[in-house]
Amino acid sequence: MQYALLIYTPPGYVESLSDVERETMLAEYLALADDDRCVTAAQLQPVETATSVRVAGGKTLMTDGPFADTKEVLGGFCVIEAADLDEAIEVAARVPAARLGGVVEIRPVGRF
């Protein structure tokens, strides 16, 4: 089964790390991307580059920025192949953001 790992981070958390911590974090993300269970992964551009789209009354409405104001922002995602939720949790626990003040949300991926 495929699971999406949605990686939420506090704004500016990377900048608060030392150079060594940043290099270690990058190496961990690259190792996760190289894991055979990883289907795809990507880092998102900063939240300031987001555009939100809604359709109301047949009109398309666009606003700059993310949909919701939260203390954490969606910083990236990873889609993995895992046997079950327990295995997905094991992979999610390896995501550096999970131990650096962020959170990793796990959701099963379905098809349209």
- Domain tally, the chain: 1
The confidence score (pLDDT) of residue 27 equals: 96
Segment 14-23 mean pLDDT: 92
pTM of the model: 0.85
Burial (0-12, 13-18, 19+ Cβ within 10 Å), 55: exposed
Give the Cα separation of 21 and 101 in Å (integer): 14
Share of the chain above pLDDT 70, in %: 96
The confidence score (pLDDT) of residue 70 equals: 66
Q: Structural domain of residue 36, as residue ranges?
A: 2-108
Residue 14 has pLDDT above 70, yes or no: yes
CATH number for position 95: 3.30.70.1060
Quick: pLDDT tens for 33-84.
999 999 999 999 888 888 888 899 999 988 887 666 667 788 999 999 999 9
